[in-house]
Amino acid sequence: MTSPFVRRQRLATELRTLREQRGITADELAKAIFRSRTTISKLENARCRPDLGDVSNILDVLDAPRESVEEIFEIARQANARGWWDAYGDTMGARQRLYADLESGAGTVREYNQFTIPGVLQTPGFIRFIIEMAMTEGQIDFTPDRMLEARLNRQQHLLGPNGPHYEVILDEVVIRRPTAPPQVMLDQLRSLIDTAAHHPRVTVLVLPLAADFTGRLLPKSAFFLFTFRDPADPPMAVVDTVSTDIVHTQGDEVVRYNQRYEHLRQATLSGAATLGLLTDAADDLENRTESPP
């Protein structure tokens, strides 16, 4: 399906551009359709599901060209659509819901992660451990069992036959630094190796500790780059921070993240060398796990 989140961005741009072309303020438009200024603001900033009646009234007031009305209204219908993730409501967490939405319409997903195994490649055991760690920090915004179920559902969709091409660059620290109990980490590494070696649309690359980054800047956070199947949908960059995800849609901002990603990719190991490093790390961990104290 087409990502409703992306369609809300498209709809916001279309409506705001049309209003500005007509020389009408947001307050004037709100009064004309008998709605609040907040309603217009949310629509033009893609912060809500569009009410199709409001969109129809706005197009009438703005005297949208006939050839544009059908196209914009179709965008509004898609922006109002619901995906599999909506069945989980808040139980899966807002952040995971965002990624599920974006992935649903993506043609390619590229990710850089210097902290942990990406969510769409995590084993159930690793997910459970991450959930336990999140719960020790205090209040959580998801339901643990539903979170696990939703994460596995995300994997099924992204890695399924209709999913996007997915590429991830992992810092070697993610592989070498223990972030879960030994057996959980070992199972995770073996699963990662299997996916990297056999999945036709997944590429896993490792940025080695010894990579020379002289003259280039390392990203300060993990981030994702999305392109979409519909060429009219602009690419996006999503930056992962401790408390929230920041979505960048402006062309110059997305370009900067693309440049950072390319710098990273130039410094990664090849696919074969990545598999070798992952296998060595797993074998080493297995030997240490089986060795008597």
Q: What is the arithmetic mean of pLDDT over 260-277? A: 97
Specify the higher pLDDT residue, 292 or 244. Answer: 244
pLDDT at 84 over 70: yes
Q: Give every strand in the sheet of 165-171, ordered side by side.
A: 202-207, 165-171, 106-113, 222-228, 236-240, 245-248
Q: Which helix (H) or strand (E) holds 165?
A: strand 165-171
Q: Decide: 219 and 260 in contact? Cβ < 8 Å.
A: yes
pLDDT at 74 over 70: yes
Residue length of the chain: 293
pLDDT at 46 over 70: yes
Q: Decide: 104 and 157 in contact? Cβ < 8 Å.
A: yes
> Which residues belong to CATH 1.10.260.40 in the chain?
4-79
Output the DSSP codes for 192-223: HHHHHHH-TTEEEEEE-TT---TTSPPPSSEE
- Reference 166, options 210, 123, 113, 219; nearest CA is 113
Specify the higher pLDDT residue, 138 or 46. Answer: 46
Q: What is the arithmetic mean of pLDDT over 55-59? A: 96
Q: What is the arithmetic mean of pLDDT over 158-184? A: 95
CA atoms within 13 A on the CB side of 188: 27
pLDDT for the residue numbered 55: 96
Give the CATH fold of the 85-290 domain: Endonuclease; Chain A (3.30.870)
pLDDT for the residue numbered 293: 55
pLDDT at 221 over 60: yes
DSSP state of 138: S
The helices-and-strands tally (H runs, E runs) of the chain is 12, 6
Residues 58 and 72: their CA atoms lie apart, in Å, by 11
- pTM to 2 decimals? 0.92
Instruction: Determine phi and psi for 214, rounding to 5 degrees.
Output: -60, 130
Q: Which of the listed CATH numbers 3.40.50.150, 3.10.180.10, 1.10.10.10, 1.10.260.40 matches domain 4-79?
A: 1.10.260.40
Q: Tell me the average pLDDT of the chain.
A: 94
Residues 258 and 152: their CA atoms lie apart, in Å, by 28
* Reported confidence tier of residue 67, pLDDT bands at 50, 70, 90: confident
* Reported confidence tier of residue 139, pLDDT bands at 50, 70, 90: confident
In tens, the pLDDT along 183-210 reads 999 999 999 999 999 999 999 999 999 9
pLDDT above 70 covers a percentage of the chain that reads: 99
> What single-letter amino acid sits at 170?
L
In tens, the pLDDT along 15-43 reads 999 999 999 999 999 999 999 999 999 99
Q: What is the arithmetic mean of pLDDT over 102-107? A: 96
Would you tell me how many other CB atoms lie within 10 Å of the CB of residue 43? Answer: 27
pLDDT at 292 over 60: no
* Reported confidence tier of residue 290, pLDDT bands at 50, 70, 90: confident
How close are the terminal C-alpha atoms of the chain, in Å? 52
Residues 153 and 121: their CA atoms lie apart, in Å, by 12
- Reference 278, options 267, 288, 270; nearest CA is 270
Would you tell me how many other CB atoms lie within 10 Å of the CB of residue 288? Answer: 11
Would you tell me how many other CB atoms lie within 10 Å of the CB of residue 10? Answer: 23
CA distances from 188 to 116, 118, 154, 195, 199 (A): 11, 11, 17, 11, 16
> What single-letter amino acid sits at 134?
A
DSSP state of 90: G
> Which residues belong to CATH 3.30.870 in the chain?
85-290
Q: Which helix (H) or strand (E) holds 285?
A: helix 271-290
pLDDT for the residue numbered 291: 63
Residues β-bridged to residue 171: 207
